Chains A and B, each alone.
Chain A
Amino acid sequence: MSDPAAPILEIRDLHVFYGGIHALKGVSLTVHRGELVSLIGANGAGKTTTLNTIAGVLAPKDGQVLLEGASIAGQPSHAILRQGLALCPEGRRIFPNLTVDENLDLGAYIRSDPAGVREDIAKMRETFPILQERAGQLAGTLSGGEQQMLAIARALMSRPRLLMLDEPSLGLAPLLVDRIFEILAGLKRQGMTVLLVEQNAFQALGVADRAYVLETGRIVKTGPARDLASDPEVKRAYLGG
């Protein structure tokens, strides 16, 4: 049963396989209410695997996923979202054949308060003016950066208790990357709990309270983001010197 004193998310000793490939070899991490936690690591380290397992896209072979102390491991993704855990997936995965507004509506699929949904759509349009301009346009016609804004807004539409983002800055121009991190900082100020996966370690550490470093399926370092940013090994491996 869920326990309000427990961390909002805790994973313990998670093992995940793709067929014979042992992708996560005992990953543990914790996210507390109101924190922004970054998970950084090189290509293929297992960052996406970790988020997908938490979100129920993948089932772990071993280990626990606890949401406020209650186990959610092995539940299907749609059930996990209903418990307040939203994932903005790698590669945006917006629905290209639906309009921008319809994408936002789908983000709120589990909600049954149309007035609140309308209010939230208005809020999203304020935060992301492009969504207002392109409201009736097919989402597939948006640029990469615009699609990323839509993907974040769509994930927020479910009013999650914990938002997980998988490389939101991937493939975006530097100016847009800055904009994405501004948005993340804004979410944090509003009290949103965020678990962020990024290859852009410099900015990911800049915005986070705490961070974990993942290397080939294992957590190799963890601590306050500021400490990791000045850690010589982290600097060498992820911050380019």
Chain B
Amino acid sequence: MSDFFNFLLNGLSCGAIYALIAVGYTMVYGIIKLINFAHGEFYMFGAFVGYAALYALFGVHPTGGEPGFLIFAASLLLAGLLTAILAVVVERFCYRPLRNAGRIVALLSALGVSLLLQNLGQQTVGASYRKFAPTLTEARFPRTEVDLASLQPGQTFDRTVVLDYALRDERGRDQQRTHAVVLAGEPLSAAALAETLRLAQASSRPAHAYTYAAVTVSSKQLVIVLTLVLVAAGLYGLVQHTRFGRAMRAVSVDFRAAALMGIDVNRIVSGTFFIGAFVAGIGGFLAGGMYYERIDPLMGLLPGLKAFVAAVLGGIGSIPGAILGALLLGISEKMVEAYVHSGLRDAFAFGILIAVLLVRPSGLLGRFEGDKV
């Protein structure tokens, strides 16, 4: 049973990553009825901006050592901001001139931009994976601290005891390490105890021993889910309670009438791309960088497609729908992976897309308008 809840939490954080991409997809669709296939590349771009910010701008060593909250936050912000600017430029030069040319033409342009950004990435930074050094102290919750001084040889525990300690590298940063002290149910040997105390002594910052609950959530998962909660609340406030949000809703339903209200439609469209890509950019940094710790120019492809599936599942054009669809998709993917077959995960996701299109094209929370592409 605890396995199930661990899968659920994993699925939830995976879904939260999809959600950070899916909201931009759905916002752009809502306002100009364009499926912006380059949106996954915005996510990729954010991860690379974050990488560059950490290593080039703030001089964090590529082999790691946590950058600290301020540098982390500044890199995150830069990732969002530069991605947003990229999206505004893409909209201005690749989509706006085609706005009256028909949906298929704009869609092809979006596919072109997607491939262009992938190839540009491969040509400039190389096609291979790069390691993204740890950006956040890895910790799992809930946990109970075990007093190191109280440990006795021969003692047994009903849960595995793990020691968290750190070693300082040549750059003076603490590298996080863990060490299994004793497995659940086994007696603690004198040798293991001596080794544990030696490591704790040598640790460059205070070492702690913990036992963990059967169901745990990691600090990284918490950061991602919390980010999604903040993004969702922020978008809700923006869309429902600001002048910009009212204008967005007006443009999405009737842009000509909106222009008659004095709304500069192009500005609202730019703003929508800005916000959607900002969220995708920080998503790329948090997911590719912080969570998976590896990035490459094609990293946006699959998550981008999954986010599209999520947006369709939730009802494309609806922000709450995109978030709901993404969480459902993330959770069900993890369940398929865990209980059916790990190789079927992606096939399952695209199976959902086909099923939704066949059975309920308007998605869970959407209103179907027909003739979408």
Contacts and interface: CB of A to CB of B under 8 A. Distances in A.
Interface of A: 55-57, 76-78, 81-82, 86-87, 89, 93-98, 102, 105-107, 109-110, 154, 158
B254 A77 contact: no
Interface string B43-55: 0000000000000
A96 B253 contact: yes
A158 B258 CA distance: 13
Given A57-B256, A93-B254, A81 B261 contact: yes
Interface string B230-249: 00000000000001001101
Contacts of B250: 95, 98, 106
Contacts of B257: 89, 93-95
A141 to B, nearest CB: 14
A81 B249 contact: no
| Most chain A CB neighbours (cut-off 10 Å) among B250, B256, B260 | B260
B259 A95 contact: no
A233 B256 CA distance: 37
Q: Is the interface of B mostly helix, strand, loop or mixed?
A: helix
A109 B261 contact: yes
Interface size class, chain B: 10 to 19
B253 to A, nearest CB: 5
Given A55-B260, A87-B260, A93-B257, A78 B249 contact: no
B172 interface: no
A158 to B, nearest CB: 6
Interface of B: 243, 246-247, 249-250, 252-254, 256-265
A56 B259 CA distance: 9
Contacts of A95: 249-250, 253-254, 257-258
Contacts of B264: 76, 78
Contacts of A76: 259, 264
Contacts of B265: 78
B22 to A, nearest CB: 20
B263 A98 contact: no
Given A89-B260, A105-B243, A158-B261, 17 more contacts: A55-B260, A57-B259, A78-B259, A78-B263, A78-B264, A93-B254, A93-B257, A102-B249, A106-B250, A106-B258, A106-B261, A106-B263, A109-B243, A109-B261, A110-B261, A154-B261, A158-B262
A160 B249 CA distance: 23
A95 B263 CA distance: 13
Nearest to A140: B253
B261 A98 contact: no
A78 B253 contact: no
Nearest to B251: A95
Contact of A102 (B246, B252, B256, B263): B246
Given A98-B246, A102-B246, A109 B253 contact: no
Nearest to A94: B257
Query: Shortest 7 CB-CB distances between A and B: which pairs?
Result: A110-B262, A93-B257, A77-B259, A81-B262, A109-B261, A106-B261, A78-B264
Nearest to B265: A78
Given A93-B257, A109-B243, A82 B249 contact: no
Contacts of A107: 261
Contacts of B263: 78, 106, 109
A87 B254 CA distance: 15
A65 to B, nearest CB: 16
Given A95-B253, A95-B254, A97-B253, A105 B260 contact: no
A216 to B, nearest CB: 25
B62 to A, nearest CB: 49
B267 to A, nearest CB: 9
B308 to A, nearest CB: 23
B272 to A, nearest CB: 16
A94 B256 CA distance: 11
Given A95-B250, A98-B250, A106-B247, A57 B262 contact: no
B246 A57 contact: no
30 contacts: A56-B259, A76-B259, A78-B260, A78-B261, A78-B263, A78-B264, A78-B265, A81-B260, A81-B261, A81-B262, A82-B262, A86-B260, A93-B254, A95-B249, A95-B253, A95-B257, A95-B258, A97-B252, A98-B249, A98-B253, A102-B246, A105-B246, A106-B246, A106-B247, A109-B247, A110-B261, A110-B262, A154-B261, A158-B261, A158-B262
Contacts of A110: 261-262
A109 B258 CA distance: 10
Contacts of A102: 246, 249
